[in-house]
Amino acid sequence: AGDLESARSHAERSLELASSIGDDGALAVAYTLAAMVAASDGDRVGNDWHYVRALQYAERAPDLLQIARIRSNRGSRLMEEGEYEAALDELDEAVRYAEAGGFDGMLALALTNRGEVAIKLGRLDDARTDLSVASELLQRLGTPMVAYPLVQLGRLFTTRGDLEQARGACERALALTEGVGDLQIEVAALNQLATTLASIDPDAAWRHAERATNIAPVSLDAAEAWTIVARLAADRDDTDTARQAAERAAELARSRRDRYVLGVAVETQATVEPDPASRRRLLDQAFNLFDELNCPIDSGRVELRIAELRLDALGITRVAAVAEQARRLGARPLLARAEELLDRHGAAHGTALTVTALGTFTVALHGETIPVKRWQSKKARDLFKMLVCLRGRPLPRDVALERLWPEDDPAKASSKLSVALATMRSVLDPDKEFGADHYVRAEGDAIVLDPASVPTDIDQFLDGASSALAELRRHRGDRAVAMLAAVEARYQGDVFEDDPYVDWFVPLREEARAVYLNVTRELAAIRAASGDLDDAIRLYLRLIEREPYDEAAHVDLVRALTAVGRHGDARRRYQHYADRMRDLDLEPTSFAAAVGRG
């Protein structure tokens, strides 16, 4: 599969043989092979023409498997050109034919492509459903093709800010490509892994990006590979390399009619453009591309770049709108960036420091995220996280010593604690704007974080949830529903997801998750009862993601999917539910009972 010339020769020979015998099914296969070779050549026109011919012969045969394959591949091509609604039409047909024929492998491919489209359109919960089902189907088949949905899961997790999950999915996908010779998925895995690692391991990201450009000079993913090199080079302040890579990416994207990658390339060109007027012009071009494609997360990202050029009243209004949209879509990195800009704008009149504990831990000072390297000491950072978890309650010094330096003698550990405290204070207040006890103060033999000076998203979430649930108990009106919706959207991940194995954080993590599940169950029930089934489905999916064994959520999801006519999705989600129940040696509710027919 990695030998392009051999594949070309095989496709040409297959077409000759199929034409000589005049068999419609054979011709459908031969033209499909020719289309795939054209894709590897970067020949969009040839790829399109061969698929049209392949579909004609497959429908004439008729060959359900070939129809599903061609529809799925055409949907993928339309997606690459930014024709997302047309792509969804093709992919819905591919799913229908694959389900009708019982072709699990082809169904998984179609669902993978549909999931990728959903990510571009900001429908992250729909994407998670399609990609999870695709991954499960291919795992059951025991095929390395599971790498395809894994790469897209990596893209999804990165978009949501779940970087460790994204890294795991991409690394597993890359491992599955070893020895297979499938350059397309290898390059896609390298591209996504580089994107995921950009903020947490830039050197590794650079190695993966360089490797991708070296092995895929003419593949359909080459343009994306060069945009990643450009972004990483810009992060390194290597403006010459960034500019050259972005220009190359834009050239490749234009030649292949890939408007999405062109938007990314133009956006990256703007980041290294020294002239403000030219930078604004490029950003406007990128925004218009993403806006025309109906890519809300990407257009929102560019809109923040535009607003940052001039953070006036109009700009801050646009930032607030992006923040609200990002919160609704579940795009945590975009939300975090928008909130940074909002914090920066209001820093002169508000709190200087803000802390994010839900999802990936970050601390922002005057709207700018404090980089990890500025903490100098992991112990100082861990100490601060402990204080955040206590939510204003005192941390006894002996507890801190036992957790941070369990092997040291008390005197030595106490000295290290003093250094960690000093480091923490210098990171939180580098310009000495406040007294030493402004953020963190001593109370006898304990240390306390002042919640009034250090607002955290976990405090805001838990306090908001308490108020919303109390309002719901008093009066199940519009105000209670709006409060529940705002709280549900604020939960951007479990507490300190980037530290999943630290025991100290477990109590707060479990408390917050339990509160989130309670809020979401209440809101989902209200949405379903009011007939807003699309939002109810979104909420059921989020419930199941956080609590995979919530039987009521599974059954309610199946019922809602059936009610809106998504019968294939309902069947797949029912199978997913049944599998989870059998994990617990429990008998699942019958499908008829789940949809209210039994």
What digits encode the pLDDT tens for the residues 326-361?
988 889 999 989 988 887 766 544 557 889 999 889
pLDDT of res. 353: 84
Local confidence band at 444 (pLDDT 50, 70, 90 cut-offs): confident
Residue 1 in this model has a pLDDT that exceeds 50: no
Q: In this predicted structure, what is the pLDDT of residue 11?
A: 64
* Rounded-to-integer distance, Cα 529 and Cα 344, Å: 41
Residues 6+ apart with CB under 8 A from 170: 150, 151, 154, 189, 192, 193, 196
- The pLDDT of residue 118 is above 90: yes
Given this model, what pLDDT does residue 217 score? 62
Q: 372: pLDDT confidence band, cut at 50, 70 and 90?
A: confident
In total, the chain counts a number of residues equal to 598
Residue 249: pLDDT band (50, 70, 90) is very high
Which is nearest to 367 in space by CA: 351, 343, 346, 350? 343
What pLDDT does residue 346 have?
A: 63
Mean pLDDT, all residues of the chain: 88
Residue 395 β-bridge partners: 447
The pLDDT score that the predictor gives to residue 181 is 75
For residue 333, whether the previous peptide bond is cis, meaning omega lies within 30 degrees of 0, is no
Residue range 514-542: mean pLDDT, rounded: 94
Residue 62 has which token pair? 């008729």
The answer to whether residues 344 and 311 touch, using CB atoms and an 8 Å cutoff, is: yes
Confidence category of residue 182, pLDDT binned at 50, 70, 90: confident
pLDDT tens across 257-275, in order? 889 999 999 999 999 999 9
Q: Write the secondary structure of 16-80 as one string of H (helix), E (strand) and C (coil).
A: HHHHHHCCHHHHHHHHHHHHHHHHHHCCHHHHHHHHHHHHHHHHHCCCHHHHHHHHHHHHHHHHH
CA-closest candidate to residue 126, choices 111, 148, 145: 111
Measured between alpha carbons, how far is 23 from 17 in angstroms, rounded to an integer? 9
Give pLDDT, residue 16.
66
Going across the sheet that includes 440-443, the strands are 395-396, 446-449, 440-443
Ordered by where they begin, the domains of the chain are: 368-449 (1.10.10.10), 464-594 (1.25.40.10)
Contact (Cβ atoms closer than 8 angstroms) between residue 519 and residue 543 = no
Check residue 374 and report its DSSP letter. Answer: G
Beta bridge partners of residue 368, listed in sequence order: 365
The H or E element that residue 371 is part of is none
Tell me: pLDDT of 219 over 70: no
What integer pLDDT is reported at residue 31 of this predicted model? 73
What is the Cα–Cα distance from 172 to 186, expressed in whole angstroms? Answer: 11
What pLDDT score was predicted for residue 431?
85
- The confidence score (pLDDT) of residue 158 equals 96
pLDDT above 70 as % of the chain = 94
pLDDT of residue 218: 53
Give the residue-averaged pLDDT of 570-580.
92
Q: What is the pLDDT of residues 273-302, one digit of tens each?
A: 999 899 999 999 999 999 999 999 999 999
pLDDT score for 30: 72
Q: Is the pLDDT of residue 161 over 60?
A: yes
- pLDDT tens string 393-406: 999 999 999 999 99
